[in-house]
């Protein structure tokens, strides 16, 4: 489950678990020292098939990344016949590298594992694939419904039945037939021969015809399933053309699609800036003595721009109640995961947290606006200092080993002890 953050670490899954609707396992109370005990299952004549299921619930990726690097994640193995158990890890973290430390790499996982069920990612990759760095296989079931209008969500949704016999397994994918159909395409208007020299009305007609074909494709997908309006997403590269009003265009499909106002997504090719240069003959001597280094690339990051224009170092103190680091994460979610409400949800969450903070303070300090501003400023300074400390700790998670330490590490590995992550 995504980062349980209620009082006492409670989440919706706790309620479902108490009501016996789900078996909730893998919740961690100490994220700085994670110890996972498996659920052990034996079945068959003489218990010939033994399965150990490890669960690791969602932890903020940056924190779990640091915990892995500090060797503070331990998967406890059965004390007897360790190699006879088929080990499964159920993981709920980022698999795709959204930033340097905002995901979990397969290399962090213990090599004694046989099978990994990777949650959190929404794209359905149900067919098991061999790990590139370990001896285990990975399945990524994905989300059961489309939660955003992205390419990964448009793939057909599946669940799977895992069959295990001793150290062999087989995963049977089962397509979900009650999921709302989602069809996504991308077109480039300049590459469509029938639109050469076309007027705007002709472009509208072409887009409308394309959407109708997508609706037909969606209706064929849901044949035999529950009738429901499909999700349609058409990405349009309109370089050399004008755009149309998506809302006005979507009005033509009200009652035919589930997202009439979000059918079209316009974008243009990015054209690199050109500079006028004068070529001249260059002598061989000039090639060895002249300076022909390429111009430096523009490596400006959005994080730098936020700090430059909204950071605490600018005149006026920057943002009032929003932390720059948290705003970066929300913006990253908005862009990379195409979650349109990410920034609004971040602002609302911060506003509610600030209001609760002020209610806990001495009422005499919150009578005036100046007092409220001073309390908020003090809170922001403490939060920024906490983030800086965490970043400093993350930057020091790769200590340089001396030759003696490396020798001791090699000796420990030869003792046959279980590897501790």
Residues that are catalytic? 1
Helix (H, G, I), strand (E, B) or coil at 231: strand
Q: What sections of 133-283 are H helices per DSSP?
A: 200-221, 246-250
Q: Is 352 exposed, middle or buried (0-12, 13-18, 19+ CB in 10 A)?
A: exposed
> Taking each helix axis from N to C terminus, what angle separates 342-360 and 369-395, rounded to the nearest 10 degrees?
120
Under DSSP, the state recorded for 225 is S
Provide the b/e sequence for 184-214 (b: ≥16 CB within 10 Å): beebebeeeeebeeeeeeebeebbeebbeeb
> HSE of 201 in the Cβ direction (CA atoms, 13 Å)?
0
Residue 119 in tokens: 């949650």
The DSSP call for residue 315 is T
Alpha-carbon distance 204 to 182, whole Å? 22
Residue 281 in tokens: 């003959």
Q: Do 118 and 91 contact (CB within 8 A), yes or no?
A: yes
Residue 377 burial (CB count, 10 A): 14
Calpha distance 214→183 (Å, rounded): 6
CA dist 126 and 161 (Å) reads: 10
In whole angstroms, what is the distance from residue 118 CA to residue 142 CA? 8
Q: DSSP states of 72-112 as a string?
A: -EEEPPPSS-GGGSEEEEEEES--S-SSTTSS--GGGS-TT
Token duo for residue 223? 């044949």
For residue 51, the cross-strand partners are: 41, 86
Residue whose C-alpha is closest to residue 136's, from 119, 116, 162, 165: 116
Cα–Cα distance between 124 and 154 in angstroms, integer? 9
Residue 179 CA to residue 143 CA, distance in Å, equals 11
């Amino acid at each position: 489950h995504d980062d349980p953050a209620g009082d006492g670490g409670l989440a919706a899954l706790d309620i479902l678990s108490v009501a016996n609707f789900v078996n909730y396992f893998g919740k961690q109370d100490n994220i700085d020292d994670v110890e996972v005990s498996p659920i052990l299952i034996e079945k068959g004549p003489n218990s010939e098939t033994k399965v150990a299921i490890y669960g690791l619930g969602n932890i903020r990726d940056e924190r779990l990344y640091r915990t892995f690097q500090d060797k503070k994640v331990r998967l406890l193995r059965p004390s007897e016949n360790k190699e006879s158990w088929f080990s499964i890890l159920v993981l709920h973290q980022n698999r795709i590298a959204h930033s340097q430390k905002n995901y979990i790499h397969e290399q962090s996982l213990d090599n004694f594992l046989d099978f990994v069920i990777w949650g959190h990612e929404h794209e359905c990759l149900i067919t098991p694939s061999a790990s590139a760095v370990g001896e285990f296989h990975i399945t990524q079931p994905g989300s059961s419904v489309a939660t955003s209008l992205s390419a990964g969500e448009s793939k057909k949704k599946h669940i799977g039945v895992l069959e295990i016999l001793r150290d062999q397994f087989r995963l049977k994918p089962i397509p979900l037939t009650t999921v709302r159909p989602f069809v996504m395409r991308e077109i480039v208007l300049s590459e469509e021969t029938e639109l050469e020299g076309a007027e705007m009305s002709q472009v509208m007609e072409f887009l409308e015809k394309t959407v109708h074909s997508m609706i037909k494709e969606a209706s064929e997908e849901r044949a035999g399933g529950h009738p429901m309006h499909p999700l349609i997403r058409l990405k349009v590269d309109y370089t050399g053309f004008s755009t149309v009003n998506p809302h006005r265009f979507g009005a033509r499909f009200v009652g035919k699609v589930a997202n009439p106002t979000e059918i079209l997504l316009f974008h243009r090719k990015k054209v690199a800036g050109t500079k006028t240069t004068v070529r001249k003959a260059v002598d061989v001597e000039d090639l060895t003595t002249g300076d022909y280094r390429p111009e430096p690339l523009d490596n400006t990051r959005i994080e730098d721009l936020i700090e430059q224009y909204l950071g605490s170092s600018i005149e006026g103190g920057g943002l009032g109640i929003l932390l720059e680091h948290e705003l970066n994460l929300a913006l990253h979610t908005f862009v990379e995961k195409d979650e349109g409400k990410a920034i609004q949800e971040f602002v609302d969450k911060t506003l509610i947290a600030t209001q609760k903070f002020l209610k806990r303070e001495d009422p005499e300090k919150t009578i005036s606006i100046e007092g409220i501003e001073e309390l908020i400023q003090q809170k922001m300074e403490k939060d920024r200092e906490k983030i800086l400390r965490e970043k400093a700790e993350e930057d020091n998670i790769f200590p340089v080993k001396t030759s003696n330490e490396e020798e001791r590490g090699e000796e420990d590995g030869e003792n046959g002890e279980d590897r501790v992550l």
